[in-house]
Amino acid sequence: MITIALFAYFAIRAGSNFTDTLSLSSAVGFAGPYAGIAIGEVLLLVLAEIDLSAGQVFLFCPWMMYWMHQDGLPLVLAIAIALLSVCLVGAINGLITVRLNVPSFVTTLAMNFILYGVVLVASNDLQGSPIPLSGQTSFIAQFMGVWKWSEILWVIALTIILTVLLTRTRFGVRIVATGGNIVGAAEAGVPTRRVKVWCFIICSFVAGLVGIIDSIKYGTLDPGNFGVDYILYAIGACVIGGTALTGGRGTVVGAFIGAILIGVLQDGLTVIGVSTNQFFIYVGVVILIAMAVNVQFDRIIARSRSR
């Protein structure tokens, strides 16, 4: 709702400048990575866990694909190995968290630095280029990210899949149960540790997959430390989308919409000529307002339900 209101505001302020496809696609371009990370992250937030490494995973996965491809592996195999490697990262995050009882905040913070370091060392601090498929016009290349709408379509498809997973499967019930009352869930027979490890794996996989699409879209890889930026926007997107960090509550669609909102804000402010520096102030204010509205809204709903 807030996203639509904001969208309308920018549309009116900037007229056709904002709604024309160039600008829309750049809003979506900003939002794509945030959304790709946020929709997996939301599963962990519902579990009352967090994955701070997902932003770095988003960058690490295409690097992995790039290195494998440089070493002469066929592209399909390179992508498969890259995705497997980020699943492994997720599994390590999860296993350290549930087996060694390290809080996931710490586990994944450490993992974030490790992945960043691995990329710096292995890339020798140089840009990665050319990315396979990038700039080509074949259907496969278009599908895998070259076409400007393909990334957001991938994200939408993943949003639908994860929504179904969270709301329509037994696994989804187990996620909510584990996040809502972990002792009660365990007593009722939910394998809470296994559920957590799988969610870490899913979060990494989704971030890595969208990361590959994103790298093919832009054509170069930068060894810089954008992972932290990405993950903070993604968590912001989840919060805007109504996810409670205390666990048990949150929707994948909400996280997606939250990410789009941040993208629209980032792009819209540029189009109406506000300095990009002010963007951060707006993002902060929006996150605060969204959270406050959500909490109040929940309270009103709870009151009306209990009558």
Partner 1 sequence: MSANALPVEPEAPVPAGAPVLEVRGVTKSFGALSVLRGIDLTLRQGEVLGLVGDNGAGKSTLVKILCGFHRPDGGELLLDGQPVSFSSVENARAYGIETVYQDLALIPQLPVYQNLFLGHEITRLGPIRFLNKGEMRKLARQYLDDINVNVPSMDAEAVDLSGGQRQAIAVARAVRAANKILLLDEPLSAMGARESRLIIDLVKDLASSGRISIIVIDHNYAHLFELCDRLNVMSGGRITLDQQVHETSIEELTELMVRPTVVSWRRCRMPVPEAAAR
Distance CA 100, CA 88 (A): 17
Burial track 86-110 (b if 16+ CB lie within 10 A, e otherwise): bbebbebbbebbbeeeeebeebbbe
Residue 206 near partner 1 by CB under 8 A: no
- The single residue among 5, 8, 140, 188 that binds partner 1, judged by CB under 8 A, is 188
User: 224: alpha, beta or left, given left = phi > 0 and alpha = psi -120 to 50?
Assistant: beta
Residue 78 near partner 1 by CB under 8 A: no
- The single residue among 21, 136, 138, 169 that binds partner 1, judged by CB under 8 A, is 169
Q: Residue 61 or 177: which CB sits closer to partner 1?
A: 177
Q: Output the smallest distance, CB 242 to partner 1, in A.
A: 13
Residue 185 near partner 1 by CB under 8 A: yes
Which amino acid would we find at residue 223?
P
Which amino acid would we find at residue 291?
M
- The single residue among 65, 190, 213, 239 that binds partner 1, judged by CB under 8 A, is 190
Residue 306 near partner 1 by CB under 8 A: yes
- The single residue among 187, 273, 275, 277 that binds partner 1, judged by CB under 8 A, is 187
Number of chain residues interacting with partner 1 (CB under 8 A): 25
In the numeric block, the tokens 């809470």 are attached to 192
Residue 4 near partner 1 by CB under 8 A: no
Distance CA 51, CA 192 (A): 17
Question: Quick one: which of 283, 281, 196, 182 has its CA closest to 235?
Answer: 283
Residue 99 near partner 1 by CB under 8 A: no
Three-state SS at 221 = strand
Question: Quick one: which of 197, 39, 204 has its CA closest to 111?
Answer: 204
Q: Rounded to the nearest 10 degrees, how much is the dihedral formed by the CA atoms of 259, 260, 262, 266? A: 140
Site string for partner 1, 225-264 (x = CB under 8 A): -----------------------xx---------------
Q: Residue 80 or 161: which CB sits closer to partner 1?
A: 161
Residue 175 near partner 1 by CB under 8 A: no
State the residues that interact with partner 1 by CB under 8 A: 168-173, 176-177, 179-181, 183-191, 248-249, 302, 305-306
